[in-house]
Structure 1
Amino acid sequence: MSTSKIAGVDVSTEHFIDGKRVASKQTFANCSPIDGKHLADVSAGGAAEVDAAVAAARRAFPKWAGLGPDGRHRVLKKFAQAILDHGKELAAVETADNGSLLMGNLARVIPRAALNIEFFADRALKLGHDQIDSPEVVNHVRYDPAGVAALITPWNGPFMLTTWKVGPALAAGDTVVVKPPEWAPLTCSMMADLANEAGIPAGVLNVVQGIGEEAGAALAAHPDIDRLSFTGSTDTAKLIGQSTARSLTPVSFELGGKSPYIVCADADFDAAAQTAAGQYLNAGQVCLAGTRLLVDASVADEFHSKFRAAVGHMTVGDPREKSTRVGPLITPEHFKRVEGFVDRALKSGVKPLWGGKRSSVGELYFEPTLLEGARQDMEIVQREVFGPVLTWQTFRDEDELVKLANGTCYGLAAMVFSKNQERAMRIASRVTAGTVWVNCFFVRELAAPFGGSRDSGIGREGGNWSFDFYCDVKNIAVLKGSFA
């Protein structure tokens, strides 16, 4: 088996198909965004590897589905524990691979990944007990496993976001083929070994690495998948949707965002400023981030002062250091994309209140940036930058606020800061978004629905909404009095 030493951890660079490591003749280079260091040459799969993985998942499906929620629960609990047991290694590799903060991975990301597995394993035990009475029949609702699920995951949170899909899919009784992100595939490879260590049978969880246009496209177009869940860009989702439409494969898409961050005149400015500064975490590579600050004009100067002070603590640096709050962008290509957005905005007359250029820390480090003076129709307001770049706009009344907040093609999230409950709830109800956080940010309750509206996605996952997707929901209507 081909492995590479990453942050002191041996990580396989091969696919995981039908319980075995499988190499491809072709590879792709994987480099760390921290310093550009070459980490590994990773097997690059295509149609052949996808075919093999889907076939393995199909063969494994009857037995895995037949275990029932109780049988699967026992194995998945061991899987969750294996993640916790290897938390330090997973966190170190994730940081090396995608540049995310090491302390955040240790404290939040890895524990949450384990919880993603455990929560849905527990939740599945409660499914299928619903009865709906009517005058003539009793309706029995069943959640039957759907089959083979294709899971295509993003590079900005590869391990946590993969377990967010793997957890409910496996708990539902599906078998899965995971396509990790080519820019950060390594912890998904480790996940396969942990699943195997926990006793998940061969073929139930498969990992095919590769370039999106090759492995990802082959998986999306495969006629023998029953569900496809994708997190990533809106443009890629449109291509995937065209492929899955040929087989009428149900999809769940969690896509980009350009979320409004709303500060009302009666907000707690200290809390709002600290939380706003947090939008720069992970170098702004967070689809949920509130990248459009919308501030009541009557308090704009006061809040701006608080916000500037809070951003002063967002230290740019090596993500392995405890003091760092803003790490690198993922690749040189992505750095150029982020830099291009800012350069075009500046040439259009937009002014930087701070930042706006490469940090002196290193090649892929961009300064936390706030831009003022952009019109609503400008690219910098309308399109997702996916970097540490925020825009500043003000509003004078609630109608203007809602018009600005809803004035993009996205609808993933929003944040509202106000001490007035009636006002906060009224604004939240008028904003188009799958999730609206009031006086907080990034609190993800697994039992609650999660997803996007408009170009930010299709469907909802979380709680039973995940099982609505990963299961075939069946109703058995039994005529009353028809049995002796």
Structure 2
Amino acid sequence: MSDFQAVVEGVPVDTRHWIGGERVASATTFDSVSPIDETVIAQVSAGGADEVDRAVRAARKAFPAWAALPVAERSAILRRVADLVESRVEDLAVVETRDNGSLLRSHRRGVMPRVATNFRFFADLAEQLAHPDLEVRDHRERISYDPAGVVAVITPWNAPLMLATWRIGPALAAGNTVVAKPPEWAPLTASLLADITAEAGMPPGVFNVVQGMGGQAGAPLTAHPGIDRLCFTGSVPTAGVIATAAAKNIVPLSFELGGKSPLVVFDDADLDLAVDLAVEQFDNAGQVCLKGARLLVHDTIAEEFTARVTKQASTLVQGDPRDEATDVSALIHRRHFDQMAGFVERAIADGARPILGGGPNEELGGLYFRPTILVDAAPGSEILTEEVFGPVLTIETFATEDEAVQKANDTRFGLAATLVTGDPDRAERVSDRLDAGTVWVNCFFVRDLAAPFGGNGKSGIGREGGVWSFDFYTNVKNSVFAPTGWTTERKDS
């Protein structure tokens, strides 16, 4: 077995780049380390400017033929990709669980099936959007979604394959070619996806994968003059660097940058539902950009709500994500663990009080941090304003609807918000006032692929999903045709 052939949970994974329909090795490698036990599970090719340039050139070469392919034929290939993903759900699930530490049961039942849906949905939508016509003053206006060119997709480690394909799917369906850079902390399922696209009959160069560190592989990709669209999910500081690099080439951007979302519970709420929704925020060890990390609770129910949330959260099982009984697993990486733990340590030193957890799980060791609930944090403190991205919730109280809205919106982020109330009028009124790209009322984490997704403020730039994805990944064109029988003589407008 070569240095670039790993076997992860019994699944063979080729860890070389995928460029122009070929496996390409780099002279240097980096370790893929499993969060479960911090062991090295694979040596992965570490790309740089040369590999990025080769991938972009391969994508550029493949673009004309892929763009010219009838949409029905492109969509058929993408549906075959979806079928193959479904046939390999177990392989993809066990590899990603080992690679990023998320729950295996979640990957089997939800995450990997959603990967297949990402391809199938946008394949269908591309066909539905093919040349819709409008009739305006006897003229025919034909709307066309022309592919933009080469799309760079840079994705995060918390749901690497699902979040990648939610961009890759519409980009390919629209007729673009793609260069994907998977996260260095969880790169392996992107390599399996490359194999799947080849098996589905995708032409060489249409989909490419370059692995590596952000500074060595990500930086030359974002600055490459051959990129026509660039999408990124990650941190605000990194987004600033990417935006600066992309600006030199006037490249349109789509950013999803995380959040500090509120979960607002009014005194007329169904408390059973509110408690369940609050505890659900510990999903994926809190490494979810959409999670309602700030619990804002009406002061008349705060005592009962806090007691019930603490009791229910204390029953969460922490451990190996491959165990069906596990609810909360490990954090992704030692560097992230230390950063997240620092937030909690500083909050406690500044007066916040842990009523659950508050530190590492000493019994498990490694990268396991106990589910934590903090109260009494000072207004405006770091723990209430910065994205912690771990199993940490804070509880604050409010007395009036106006105060609830003010506290909910008191953040530089605006990705999502959750509202729990039994009053339909309040639900409509408050949801209208919340500054967020997505507002859930008496539910959480429900979103159809046809709906727009994106954030306000520092949570990102733009919207994707449904037709909004095609607005970004294409050049939308309107061709206006005069009525049949008109002469070529110019008409006054």
TM over 0.5: yes
What amino acid is aligned across from residue 420 of structure 1 in structure 2? D
Task: State the match for 1:262 in structure 2.
Answer: 264
What amino acid is aligned across from residue 172 of structure 1 in structure 2? A
Alpha-carbon distance in 2 for matches of 1:336, 1:4: 28
> Any conservation in 1 of the 2:151–2:179 contact (CA below 8 Å)?
yes
Question: What does 1:385-404 align with in structure 2 at a 5 Å threshold?
Answer: 385-404=388-407
Task: State the match for 2:336 in structure 1.
Answer: 334
Please state whether the residue corresponding to 2:158 is helix, strand or coil: coil
Which of 372, 376, 380 is residue 375 of structure 2 equivalent to?
372
Which of 344, 347, 354 is residue 345 of structure 1 equivalent to?
347
Q: How big is the alpha-carbon RMSD for the aligned residues of Structure 1 and Structure 2?
A: 1.1
Q: Note closer, same or farther for the CA distance 1:482–1:233 as it changes in structure 2 (3 Å cut).
A: farther
Q: How many Å apart are 1:433 and its aligned residue?
A: 0.5
Q: How many Å apart are 1:481 and its aligned residue?
A: 5.0
Which of 466, 475, 480 is residue 463 of structure 1 equivalent to?
466
Task: State the match for 2:45 in structure 1.
Answer: 43
Q: How many Å apart are 1:457 and its aligned residue?
A: 0.5
Please state whether the residue corresponding to 1:460 is helix, strand or coil: coil
What amino acid is aligned across from residue 374 of structure 1 in structure 2? A
> Any conservation in 1 of the 2:351–2:378 contact (CA below 8 Å)?
no
Q: Percent identity?
A: 53
Task: State the match for 2:306 in structure 1.
Answer: 304
Task: State the match for 1:356 in structure 2.
Answer: 358
Q: Does 1:143 align with 2:148?
A: no
Alpha-carbon distance in 2 for matches of 1:376, 1:241: 32
Task: State the match for 1:21 in structure 2.
Answer: 23
> Any conservation in 1 of the 2:358–2:370 contact (CA below 8 Å)?
yes
Task: State the match for 1:57 in structure 2.
Answer: 59
Q: Does 1:382 align with 2:385?
A: yes
Alpha-carbon distance in 2 for matches of 1:358, 1:481: 74
CA offset digits 1:153-211 (Å, max 9, x no partner) = 10000011111011100100000000000000000111000110111110000000000
Q: How many Å apart are 1:136 and its aligned residue?
A: 6.7
Q: How many Å apart are 1:26 and its aligned residue?
A: 1.0
Please state whether the residue corresponding to 2:394 is helix, strand or coil: strand
> Any conservation in 2 of the 1:68–1:173 contact (CA below 8 Å)?
no
Alpha-carbon distance in 2 for matches of 1:234, 1:300: 33
Task: State the match for 2:282 in structure 1.
Answer: 280
CA offset digits 1:58-99 (Å, max 9, x no partner) = 010111111121010111111001101111010000000000
TM-score of the superposed pair, with normalisation by structure 1: 0.98
Task: State the match for 2:161 in structure 1.
Answer: 159
Q: Where does the alignment leave 5 or more consecutive residues of structure 2 unmatched?
A: 488-493
Please state whether the residue corresponding to 1:4 is helix, strand or coil: strand
CA offset digits 1:284-303 (Å, max 9, x no partner) = 00000000000011111121
Please state whether the residue corresponding to 2:325 is helix, strand or coil: coil
Quick check: 265-274 or 175-184, which moved more? 265-274
Q: Does 1:448 align with 2:451?
A: yes
> Any conservation in 1 of the 2:310–2:355 contact (CA below 8 Å)?
no
Please state whether the residue corresponding to 1:125 is helix, strand or coil: helix
Please state whether the residue corresponding to 2:281 is helix, strand or coil: helix
CA offset digits 1:27-48 (Å, max 9, x no partner) = 1111100001111111100110
Task: State the match for 1:428 in structure 2.
Answer: 431
Which of 121, 124, 148 is residue 123 of structure 2 equivalent to?
121
Please state whether the residue corresponding to 1:54 is helix, strand or coil: helix
Q: Where does the alignment leave 5 or more consecutive residues of structure 1 unmatched?
A: none
Which of 194, 197, 212 is residue 195 of structure 1 equivalent to?
197
Which of 11, 14, 19 is residue 12 of structure 1 equivalent to?
14
Q: Does 1:250 align with 2:252?
A: yes
Q: How many Å apart are 1:276 and its aligned residue?
A: 0.9
What amino acid is aligned across from residue 466 of structure 1 in structure 2? S
Q: Does 1:214 align with 2:203?
A: no
Quick check: 447-456 or 354-363, which moved more? 354-363
Alpha-carbon distance in 1 for matches of 2:388, 2:243: 23
> Any conservation in 2 of the 1:376–1:382 contact (CA below 8 Å)?
no
Alpha-carbon distance in 1 for matches of 2:390, 2:314: 18
Alpha-carbon distance in 2 for matches of 1:306, 1:199: 53
